[in-house]
Amino acid sequence: MCTFTPPKAPEPPDWSTAREELRDLMAAAGWPDDLIRDAELALHELFVNAWKHGGSPAPVVVVVLLADRTLRVSVADNSPDLPEQRASADPYELSGRGLHLVRSLTHRFGAAPRKRGGKAVWFELDAAA
């Protein structure tokens, strides 16, 4: 009898710096706590997706822009494959609900190819909402 133990998957990269900078920027601009928490959770979902599915050996790239009371967060990875949202989020599936969550927490989200390869997945929140 032969047994095989697959190698342990690498640990996810630390996203605490991106989360803290996002939180600090939004708090300094006077955003309410509930929108800050929504943005943090949406960022976490995109960050983990980029790590798990994006094929990036290097750390994930996060860009946060705040202009005219609109927050835009973009997470880039090396995969050219644009994410596809599943038709329905089965509550019993082990994964696959992340984009549904991002859609419900934010005002807009999408994905676009990057000029140098890979893609960026983004979301926006409006302060006035």
Domain ranges in the chain are 16-126
Which pLDDT score is estimated for 9?
A: 47
Which pLDDT score is estimated for 46?
A: 92
Binned average pLDDT, 10 residues per bin, the chain of 129 residues: 44 81 95 96 91 71 91 91 70 71 94 90 88
Contact 129, 83 (CB under 8 A): no
**Residue 3 bridge partners (DSSP):** none
Q: Which CATH number describes the domain made up of 16-126? A: 3.30.565.10
| Environment class of 111 (CB within 10 Å of its CB; exposed 0-12, middle 13-18, buried 19+) | middle
